[in-house]
Amino acid sequence: MNNKYIIYIILFYLFNLSYGIHQVSGQALDSETCAKCDALATLRIKSTDLLSSVVVPEDGDMPEYCRVLGYVLPAIHFETRLPTKNWNGKFYMVGCGGLCGEVRSDWPGGFMSINQVLKRDYAVSAMGCGQGEVARKKDVKRVGMIIGIRPEKIEEYKALHADDNPGVRDLLTKYHIQNFSIFLHAIDGKWYQFGYYEYTGDDFAVDMAQLAEEPRNIEWLKVCDPMQLPLPGETSWAEMERVYYNE
């Protein structure tokens, strides 16, 4: 029954994205591909929570794919990787029968590794199926933050973060940052941005340090930072204190 829900995601993607979309290697991500991949996370499937969906660019011998993260209730986490071109019409899925406690999609040489099959143009999925997933879900780090923005840069900033612009969405997913949202509001004539994201990895400091070293992220910040106005005493986004949470 649970497997059926994941296959629903596969079918939706394959019929609405895989056919008729072609991208030349080395060019910017196709905006239509990104939009349709992003739309997967908004699907409503019974007993399933889709956490994120983002296009991951081609990297070496790894093809471009749409990465979907989610879990089937009560605690079966899964990751699905869907080729954005040259799909061979086949689907490959692995799991560990409830023994792993986590999804290990990039486990080199492990039985749950799906990359070798993805390279052969399969749609692929890996499932954790363990009680460890319940604990992992409870350990999510939730971050709220604030920064000012130059009024004359608001429209440019909005365009830069539009849904059809891939930006660094794939890097956020790579380093376990999910549900990243930015809100805009004026207070006493000054404009502020309020940001929120969830970190689901195992080592926040290490992941953030590696994200900071990513060349594309460095270039992205060179564009965004001049548009923003840090609060007094801050050099970038200021993290806010959380005073309430209700799941």
> Structure pTM?
0.52
pLDDT at 87: 84
pLDDT at 136: 45
SS (H, E, C) the chain: CHHHHHHHHHHHHHHHHHCCCCCCCCCCCCHHHHHHHHHHHHCCECCEEEEEEEEECCECCECCEEEEEEEECCCEEEEEEEECCCCCCCEEEECCCCCCCCCCCCCCCCCCCCHHHHCCCCEEEEECCCCHHHHHHHCCEEEEEEEEECHHHHHHHHHHCCCCCCCCHHHHHHCCEEEEEEEEEEECCEEEEEEEEEECCCCHHHHHHHHHCCHHHHHHHHHHHHHEECCCCCCCCEECCCCCCCC
Q: What is the pLDDT of residues 190-213, one digit of tens each?
A: 999 999 999 988 789 999 999 999
Q: Specify whether the CB–CB gap between 81 and 94 falls below 8 A.
A: no
Right CATH number for 140-239 from 3.90.1640.30, 1.20.81.30, 3.30.70.1090, 3.60.10.10?
3.30.70.1090
> Is the sign of the CA dihedral 208, 210, 213, 215 positive or negative?
negative
If 0-12 CB within 10 Å is exposed, 13-18 middle and 19+ buried, where does residue 24 land?
exposed
pLDDT at 3: 53
User: Rounded distance, CA 197 to CA 70, Å?
Assistant: 16
Q: Which residues of the chain have pLDDT under 70?
A: 1-30, 73-75, 96-112, 128-138, 247
Give the residue range(s) of CATH 3.30.70.1090 domains in the chain.
140-239
pLDDT at 6: 57
Nearest CA among 67, 63, 77, 70 for reference residue 37: 67
pLDDT at 160: 93
